[in-house]
Chain A
Amino acid sequence: MSSSMTTGVSSRKADPRGSGTGVEDAPLLQVRDLHVEFRTRDGVARAVNGVDYSVRAGETIAILGESGSGKSVTAQAVMGILDSPPGFVTGGEILFKGRDLLKLGQDERRKIRGSQLAMIFQDALSSLNPVHSVGYQLGEMFRVHRDASRKEAKARAVELMDRVRIPAAKERVNDYPHQFSGGMRQRIMIAMALALEPDLIIADEPTTALDVTVQAQVMELLAELQAEYNMGLILITHDLGVVADVADKIAVMYAGRIVETAPVHELYARPAHPYTRGLLDSIPRLDQKGQELYAIKGLPPNLLRIPKGCAFNPRCPRAQEICRQEVPKLFQVTEDDGTELAGRGSACFFWKETLHDA
């Protein structure tokens, strides 16, 4: 599997002392060779097949992928909110501040969840409880985790709503979720995630349900708060535009594997995996007006029947015999003269050629 390779790539980038845990400046979160499967009536769907990545304080990593690529499932496994059954973590480690979360009991994980590790969901309306006021739901964080009194909790809720710039927070604290607009609800979700000043936030498609002008407001707010609290941020999205705006580094997922990792500027300038290349090429560009758009042929694979070899091979313009036989590991990407490109990896046998074409 690709585990040793990836860890190598990420640790080489910013942690020259190696990936020793507990060392100062060690990554906040390290996911190593994570495997998740869903046991369904129709068979076993391998949603995540050996994923490695790491996040440091203050860093934003974007996990880019289409539906079914395993990007959300990875996040759910990290948070410990995987629906189980049918979902099971079948292998790997999730090291958070050096401790393997998968070895902790439910009580301990619950203590970490919310206070040190928080998540923002895509659909704020269905993530908030419609029968409690937003003030009550925000205050719950303090009542449960900090033993605050009801009055205290409500005061803190107002503060939080101020923080995420909800106008007239004091008057609106007793309003219910349906009384807020989509953008305001997403702010409340962000406020809830920030409540206990966690070290790491996972944002799963935080702006997909919002209009572009509101999306810009919310992303700006999120970036600002992240800088203020020096938090790690995992941004899960399918939007190449949002990623280009905020991410430091990117991991592209396909069929449950990371197929490419790279710092944001390099990924867009010189992709080293044909899938990434195809995604970038299918963005409509000005000079292509009136011409046919580049389209990746075929469909994302069914996770019950992932193709043999490289999962992308049936759709890949570069596929050779070896791609149909062997699963490519995440290769270290280098320049022609062999200089290693920091933080860059590609799970393609022909990464060199792909890099050259870019």
Chain B
Amino acid sequence: MAEPILEVRNLVKHYPLTQGVLFKKQIGAVKAVDGISFELHKGETLGIVGESGCGKSTLAKVLMNLERATAGEVLFKGEDISKLSGAALKAVRRNIQMVFQDPYTSLNPRMTVGDIIGEPFEIHPEVAPKGDRRKAVQDLLDVVGLNPEYINRYPHQFSGGQRQRIGIARGLALKPEIIICDEPVSALDVSVQAQVINLLEQLQGEFDLSYMFIAHDLSIVRHISDRVGVMYLGKMVEIGSDEQIYEHATHPYTQALLSAVPVPDPTGREGRERIILSGDIPSPANPPSGCRFRTRCWKAEERCSTELPLLAVPSLEGPAAHESACHFAAEREVEQSAA
């Protein structure tokens, strides 16, 4: 396996909850990301799945240094970037770029496409000298499959899928090594999603990019990812290769998540066994003690409320032996979403 380009160690992001106006005192914290560790390798795609409120977008923001980590380390090629500031941070950011979910709000409506895609060059003039910028932007438009003549148009003149291409071109502008995609296709129509996914895969091969692909659509994540991490309430509960997660999940939450996904095939729907979880995700300001999933878990026992299960490889055979944070990690026949 290629060397890790990004290493995340025990990353924590807590948002303080305060009371009082003049004498603010902290009365608690929203534990959005609470001790996450993983590695991203060169040229690979790591998918991150989880429901809303599980901390996957906060994780992206912390990796981008848009939010400061409360604790933990983010190592980019061995160097901790989570505490950098000023010129050093600026230099690192060139290498980690982001594609956002909503192509309608993440492009400034008053800027032309040329200005939007060219703006990164203002901040990092070393990438494209002033005279070459227009040409560089046109090349980028061409790379993402848009007509280079559209350089003077405004975002509202494009459809959702085309706007997402503009967002991708902006992410590519500085020739980064890592692109973090936060739900890049969930705002798009079904028939357009596939186009954007194909573009992302093609660009990955062309520029040797590493992706962190955050999404809630499990079948798309499976298609694009080499490895998949499952998050629940600020914790990584299971991580492994796409086959290990989708075919041999050992964490009850992953199993429930996979079985809840509607299968786009009516054959055998009457006999399909489905785990229906009760209740909603608890509040990250007041997570359950011990295992955070225990309040919705059918396997929960006394031990789960007192002892936090660590992300570790359980003593199981074959592909089931991958990291899973459950005291009772075991395989179960799970109906496949994309099989």
Contact = CB atoms under 8 A, between A and B. Distances in A.
B191 A278 contact: yes
A286 interface: yes
B191 A296 contact: yes
Given A66-B190, A217-B276, A295 B256 contact: no
B131 interface: no
Given A211-B52, A296-B191, A183 B280 contact: yes
A264 B266 contact: yes
A264 to B, nearest CB: 5
A212 B265 contact: no
A289 B223 contact: yes
A25 B6 CA distance: 64
A244 B189 contact: no
A241 B220 CA distance: 13
A210 to B, nearest CB: 9
Interface stretch (B11-19, B64-72, B194-202, B322-330): B194-202
Given A238-B189, A284-B223, A286-B336, A211 B198 contact: no
Nearest to A240: B264
Nearest to B195: A295
Interface string B104-119: 0000000000000000
A268 interface: yes
A325 interface: no
B256 A213 contact: yes
A279 B337 CA distance: 16
The bracket for how many chain B residues form the interface is: 35 or more
Contacts of B191: 66, 278-279, 282, 295-296, 300
Interface in A266-297: 268-269, 278-280, 282-286, 288-289, 292-297
Contacts of A213: 51, 256-257, 260, 276-277
B161 interface: yes
A293 B198 contact: yes
B193 interface: yes
B274 interface: yes
B262 A279 contact: no
A289 B222 CA distance: 8
Interface in A294-330: 294-297, 299-300
Interface in B189-222: 189-195, 197-198, 201-202, 216, 218-220, 222
Nearest to B262: A241
Contacts of A283: 219, 264, 338
A302 to B, nearest CB: 9
Interface string B264-299: 111101000010111011000000000000000000
A300 B202 CA distance: 23
